A and B are shown apart, each in its own frame.
Chain A
């Protein structure tokens, strides 16, 4: 009890102090609650970005994880009781959250590091943080030199028998289903939702697990629970580094990114904005690929000279890799058709 009172008092004080004196790092006893997606990815960015930023700004970063941040963004926004500050989540959540008044609009004058970033890497509510890809990964031992190389192969249960896993979420999964059904990568959007669910219905009996978090997907492949699955590329390379018998292909991958955004009414708004500006600083951004196979959200990171050439080649956003993948359209997912598709997912899982 004492703690929360004390905390509120401090908060009140720091807001007043920030208002009158202006943001003064040495005075403000800053802290924020930062939410990402857990596992190897969260560990990597802690070393690459969060720890150095915390030190540079003299703030405390309290970390949490939520593989699907949307429900929590919603409850915090609708109840008006925000406890999170900054969320690392697909831009879809930032944009529709912003449209529904659940996400703060960003004041880009406070975020100078975003200035040089391409317009398509920003929304009024968020700014790009990192690039990753939902790829097809497999256990090579299970396929004897002829592993699946596309979603078409993934759906082909005769030629490629084995346990399969997909994410328990429509994002990326519908894209994969349509590619499996022969839709060309450049013609995916707007998604033909009926067709996608029909195709998913086909593979459903062969899916052993519908994973919910990145950590779980990594465990499934590492422990041999499944032979092939859709997984985020950084997670699969992390377990390959830990000695797992696994490989993946960028072919047919769904290239995605996450953005940073701030919860409406965030308890530490000032510090949160400061944090976002620092987190997309090219210097820190360039650290991320050194710890996990994810590309920096700020392309200026490539100019720092920190990222070696051979490393850059392994990243999902590297041009040669990117052209074998499809870039996810968040405009479509944020549209009413996208929202409808998301609602249909639970229904699909249940039948």
Chain B
């Protein structure tokens, strides 16, 4: 918007042709400025993506066998089922944990809300690897969590909390929670306080005001956060590899194994393409409701 204003004012529009030429030069310059960034993404991402898509249809000529395999072989079905199940549970848990945090941040006095935000962001800057290590310490059979639960008498025998799907979910929620909280916080920040007060002064109970006024206004943040968490979780690799106990195999691990263990690029690329299509569909649908930049802003 600002840019159009600028064009109207400069250069002084004395001559239409000159102005047109100026615009053309301007466009060319802007595209030129854009080109290094686009080139990098083009060479390192778009070309390989095109190649992967090609590979997924290739085995000594055109074929659908790699996709057929995904549909017919149980191992592929299982992997996608596990991946989606984990992503769904993680997203739900992240929402249940993240929404109250974001809500608290938006209603607390500034000093407190800054503290809460800092606590949310701190793990953000800690390596995923280290957090997997920490969860191994906390969740193992004789780990902190089991010992304390047994100490207070809640359980008699240690629970199997790690080296399985449960451990993967716990550690993944921990990693993705900030991606839920930040878009929620950004949205809630923008909800006018007087609107809430107006609701309250009109005699609504706090719960009523929350469900009728606040919550609906925060929905775009909920959508953004859920999308981000779900999509990131679909592509998770490191956490399930380290705390999954060897049997929690998610889609990206299948891709990696197919390449590294079997050099089976066909199978790997077909799995990649299916995964990518899922992600793109989700982003496309959601971007009709919430602008893409808003979803990715937190990342």
Q: Touching in the complex, A and B, CB below 8 A?
A: yes
The answer to whether B78 touches A224, judged by C-beta atoms less than 8 angstroms apart, is no
B10 within 8 A of A: no
Known: A163-B141, A208-B160. A71 touches B261 (CB 8 A): yes
| Docked-complex contact B249 and A350, CB < 8 angstroms | yes
Scoring A residues 318 to 351 as 1 if CB is less than 8 Å from chain B, else 0, what string do you get? 0000000000000000000000000100110111
Instruction: Check B74 against A351 for contact (C-beta < 8 Å).
Output: yes
- Contact between B246 and A209 (Cβ–Cβ < 8 Å)? yes
Interface mask (B13-30 → A, CB under 8 Å = 1, otherwise 0)? 000000000000000000
Q: How large is the interface on A (under 10, 10 to 19, 20 to 34, 35 or more residues)?
A: 20 to 34
> A224 to B75, Cβ gap below 8 A?
no
User: Quick one: which of B141, B246, B262, B263 contacts A225, CB cutoff 8 A?
Assistant: B141
A351 to B77 Cα, complex, angstroms: 10
Nearest CB in chain B: distance from A39 CB, A: 15
Q: Do the beta carbons of A224 and B142 come within 8 Å of each other? A: yes
The one of B142, B246, B257 in contact with A210, judged by C-beta atoms closer than 8 angstroms, is B246
Task: Tell me, rounded to whole Å, the shortest Cβ–Cβ distance linking A178 to chain B.
Answer: 21
Task: Determine which of A74, A163, A350, A351 lies in contact with B260 in the assembled complex, contact meaning CB atoms within 8 Å.
Answer: A74
Given contacts A349-B246, A349-B247, A351-B78, contact A208 B163 (CB under 8 A): yes
Q: Does B140 contact A (CB under 8 A)?
A: yes
Contacts of A65 in B (CB 8 A): none
In the complex, chain A residues whose CB is within 8 Å of the CB of B247? 210, 349-350
Smallest beta-carbon distance A151→chain B, Å: 19
Residues of B within 8 Å of A78, CB to CB, are 263
Residues in chain A near residue B74, CB distance under 8 A: 350-351
Q: Is the interface of B mostly helix, strand, loop or mixed?
A: loop
A223, B160: Cα distance in complex, Å: 14
Q: Closest residue to B241 on the A side, CB-wise?
A: A212
Does B140 contact A225, Cβ atoms closer than 8 Å?
Answer: yes
Query: B245 within 8 Å of A by Cβ?
Result: yes
- A70 part of interface (Cβ distance < 8 Å): yes
Cα distance A212–B78 in the bound complex, in angstroms = 21
CA distance A211 to B244 in the complex (A): 10
Determine if B79 is an interface residue (Cβ-Cβ < 8 Å): yes
- The reply to whether B141 and A212 contact each other, CB–CB distance below 8 Å, is no
A62 touches B (CB below 8 Å): no
* A208:B245 contact, CB within 8 angstroms: yes
Q: Does A168 belong to the interface (CB within 8 Å)?
A: yes
> Cβ of A81 < 8 Å from any Cβ of B?
no
Residues of A within 8 A of B163 (CB): 208-209, 225
Tell me the A139-181 residues at the B interface (CB within 8 Å). Answer: 163, 168
Nearest Cβ distance between residue A224 and chain B, in whole angstroms?
Answer: 5
Give which listed residue, A211, A223, A343, A351, contacts B246 with CB less than 8 A. Answer: A211
Q: Given B140, B141, B261, which contacts A346 in the complex, CB threshold below 8 Å?
A: B261
B148 to chain A minimum Cβ distance, whole angstroms, is: 16
Tell me the complex Cα distance, A247–B142, Å.
19
What are 26 sample pairs from A and B whose C-beta atoms fall under 8 A apart?
A70-B261, A71-B261, A74-B261, A75-B260, A75-B263, A168-B246, A208-B163, A208-B164, A208-B245, A209-B163, A209-B245, A210-B245, A210-B247, A223-B141, A224-B142, A225-B141, A226-B141, A346-B75, A346-B249, A346-B257, A347-B75, A349-B247, A350-B75, A350-B79, A351-B75, A351-B78
Interface residues of B (CB under 8 A from A): 74-75, 78-79, 140-142, 160, 163-164, 245-247, 249, 257, 259-263
